[in-house]
Amino acid sequence: MDDAELIKFIKDTEDMINPKDVGLLYQRAEMLRKLPLGVQRWIVDRASSGDPSIGFVVEPYAFFLSYEITDLAWAQEQLPEPYRIVPAAMFDDVEPRACAILGAFNIHTSVFWGSRVEFYLIAEDTRTGMLSWVICDYESNTINYDPGEGFTGASTRHSVVTTSHRGDVIVDVGSGERDHHIDCVARLAGAQMRPLEQRLWIEGNLSVDYGGRLMNDESVPFGLVFDPDEVAQALHIPLDAVEVGKNTFAEGRIADTPYEAACFPYAQHFRTSSFPVASPVHDRAALEAAFHEESRHSHGRWAT
Nearest 10 degrees: CA dihedral of 45, 46, 52, 55?
-60
Structural domain for 46, as ranges: 3-60+68-155+192-232+253-260+269-296
Residue 201, in any domain of the structure: yes
- Read off φ and ψ for residue 144, nearest 5 degrees: -145, 160
Domain-embedded: residue 185: no
Asked if the structure places residue 274 within a domain, the reply is yes
Q: How many other C-beta atoms are found inside a 10 Å radius of the C-beta of residue 157?
A: 14
- Sequence letter at residue 42: W
Question: For the whole model, what pTM was predicted?
Answer: 0.91
Looking at 95-99, 126-130, 183-187, 278-282, which range is the least confident one?
278-282
Q: Is residue 208 part of a domain?
A: yes
Total number of domains in the chain: 1
Q: How does residue 11 score in pLDDT terms, banded at 50, 70 and 90? A: very high
Residue 169 located in a structural domain: no
Give 48's pLDDT tier (boundaries 50, 70, 90). Answer: very low
List all residues 6 or more positions away from 61 whose beta carbon is below 8 Å from its beta carbon.
105, 163, 169, 263, 264, 265
Distance of CA 110 to the CA centre of its chain: 15
End-to-end CA distance of the chain: 17
Question: Which residue from 263, 88, 258, 92 is spatially nearest to 193, judged by alpha carbons?
Answer: 263
The arrangement of strands across the sheet holding 242-247 comes to 156-163, 168-175, 181-187, 242-247
- Domain assignment present for residue 304? The answer is no
3-state SS assignment for residue 43: helix
Instruction: Tell me which range, 53-62, 123-132, 210-219, 274-283, is most confidently predicted by mean pLDDT.
Output: 123-132
Confidence of residue 151 (pLDDT cuts 50, 70, 90): confident
- On whether the CB atoms of residues 91 and 260 are closer than 8 A, the answer is yes
Count the helices and strands in the chain (H runs, E runs): 6, 18
Q: Is residue 80 part of a domain?
A: yes
pLDDT at position 216 is: 87
d(CA 264, CA 104): 11
CA 200 to chain centre: 13
Highest mean pLDDT among 3-17, 50-64, 252-266: 252-266
Relative to beta strand 130-140, strand 144-146 is: unpaired
Residue 41, in any domain of the structure: yes
Closest CA relative to residue 249, chosen from 161, 151, 176, 182: 182
Asked if pLDDT for residue 137 goes beyond 80, the answer is yes
